[in-house]
Amino acid sequence: MTTNVLAIGDFHIPSRARWIPDALEREVTKDKYDIVLCTGDLTSEAVITWLEKLGKEIYVVRGNMDHLKLPAHAVIDVEQLKIGVYHGAGIYPRGDIPKLTMKAKQLGVDVLVTGHTHYPQVVMVKEHKVVIVNPGSATGAWGGDERASLIPSFAVMQVDKRNLRVQVKEVKPHGIEVAKYEFTL
């Protein structure tokens, strides 16, 4: 059986974006998800209500801009993998892979879903057998990092036992651009 997981975050609604871009919302809602993982920086409870409609289970962590009662991190079992969710605001410089790897080891996870950088990234750290998945910003909001893409994005992960397939979807002016990754952990 394959478990379908949505990874999404860094909305910044309404401070930096009015709402989720129509094209991203259409692309996200094409699928049904068993689990929704949100990396935080929602800044509005309305986003949680929207996320709850997308999957059977939902895990949302607190971002540095959130004033909502949310946990700092979450760890869940998906098939035979442990997946952690952590915003990433405690990592400097933003998105530092060695420090995120240490956070993954600290949480005892095989996969760490993280945000805060506002650009999507998927990295396998072979020596630690850890995959770092950053879905980017769902709204393409500015994020304070020179590498921030300003392109709305999210990730879909399919987990089958210890196999992980990741699709990062970016909403570009010409349409949806998809980057695909596969790992066995």
Going from the first residue of the chain to its last (185 residues), give the mean pLDDT of each consecutive group of 10, the final group possibly shorter: 96 93 96 97 93 96 93 97 96 95 98 96 97 97 79 98 98 95 96
Contacts of 68 (CB under 8 A, 6+ apart): 42, 45, 48, 62
This prediction's pTM: 0.96
CATH number of 3-184: 3.60.21.10
What are the residues facing 182 on neighbouring strands?
165
pLDDT for 143: 79
CB atoms within 10 A of CB 25: 14
Would you give the DSSP letter of residue 63?
-
Would you give the DSSP letter of residue 1?
-
pLDDT for 113: 98
Please tell me the distance from the alpha carbon of residue 123 to that of residue 118, in angstroms, as a whole number.
Answer: 15
pLDDT for 149: 80
